[in-house]
Amino acid sequence: MAIELKIPEVGESITEVEIGGWLKNQGDSVKKDDPLVTLESEKATVELPAPEAGRITQILKQQGEVAKVGEVIGYLEKDGHAEASQKAPEPKAAEGKAKQPEQPAAPKPERKPEAQGENKTDEPRAGREEPVSPERGTPARREIIRPLSQVGSEAGAPRPAPDRQEEIVPMSRLRRTVAERLVEAHHNAALLTTFNEIDMTGVMALRKEYGEAFQKKYNVKLGFMSFFVKASIDALKQFPAVNAAVRGTDIVYHNYYDIGVAIGGGKGLVVPVLRNAERMSFAEVEMAIGDFARRAQENKLKPDELQGGTFTISNGGVYGSLLSTPIVNPPQSGVLGMHAIQERPVAREGQVVIRPMMYVALTYDHRLVDGREAVTFLKRIKETIENPARMLIEV
């Protein structure tokens, strides 16, 4: 008996998803819990596992199509006996066509020989849809490819070389949602950014002294992120407006600290949340972030893990960023941007010395946070990181 492959519940308030791509083809044998297809919602990308071992007999929804929660997108025949109980419609239709008498082929329009100077076989026509090769995507995905020479002629610009082409690829649902939220942040909040720089000597000395023992005990490296999570919580306690949100005409002050950590995933940037991060140890923070990073690459983060943060930390330094202005994740009122560590000459007690320095940035919603609060908040993080012992004695 065929088993229906239905769209599962993927998160609160999510009623439909977009088919991201089938990981198995029609007719493939699968084991129980094998991932069959990726499902893209506005909050996360998840995989639909095989409910039983068997064979995929029919695929009803292709990549890029939208399906509602509970809708059937395919069929799986348990134990692989697909042929005995269900026939796919495509072979049946093909068989019917084979029995029909042959029809005379329609005459083809005459074409000028290539010798007359016309040779268009190397250049696709404008607006033509071409199936993507397996190396570039699933066979069901289609992209529009047209030469830039055509675009130039439409705009009245000089014709570029004929081998210049453009490729049109639909945005994923997750990417569209990220874009919408970033625009929303600019439209609905009064964003401003303040900067500072941090001497990382103290933290780097601690990591060098205790890093090996830390890794042996907890089986995870002692990174920089746990220090900044702890320093941010310390500063948020001092300045609760940065941990607050605007709700209509009210201000909501959170008495807990759910810290979002921006991570580059397989489908783009995601921000999983450390729930009640104030209760977590350094090791728990590092283990949670490592787990988030692994599952983000595999597109296995759950939608509820990406919701409800009260403050966000983004580390562009891992990609080499020296300075940036991060964007607040609504409805939060603040985001901290970390950047690359560089050795720079700085003045210390009348002497010029070389120190590992990091620029940091705080973007905040000026509707809630005054400039004085924002500057002092970032200064508090600077002082805590430069004197990490204060995180232990809370002074």
366 is catalytic: yes
Distance (Å, whole) CA 66 – CA 7: 11
Q: Is 175 exposed, middle or buried (0-12, 13-18, 19+ CB in 10 A)?
A: middle
Q: Where are the alpha helices (DSSP H) in 29-110?
A: 82-85, 89-99
Distance (Å, whole) CA 381 – CA 360: 9
In the 8-state DSSP scheme, what is residue 43? S
Tokens of 337: 């941007």
Distance (Å, whole) CA 200 – CA 223: 12
What lies within 8 Å, CB to CB, of 186 at 6+ separation is 327
Distance (Å, whole) CA 128 – CA 144: 6
Distance (Å, whole) CA 193 – CA 371: 9
Phi, psi of 337 (to 5 degrees): -110, 120
For residue 35, the SS3 value is strand
For residue 309, the SS3 value is coil
Distance (Å, whole) CA 322 – CA 315: 10
Out of 33, 79, 186, 366, pick the active-site residue. Answer: 366
Q: Identify the helix (H) or strand (E) that includes residue 237.
A: helix 225-238
Round the CA-based radius of gyration of the chain to a whole number and report it. Answer: 28
187 is catalytic: no
Side chain identity, residue 150: Q
- Catalytic residue ranges: 366, 370
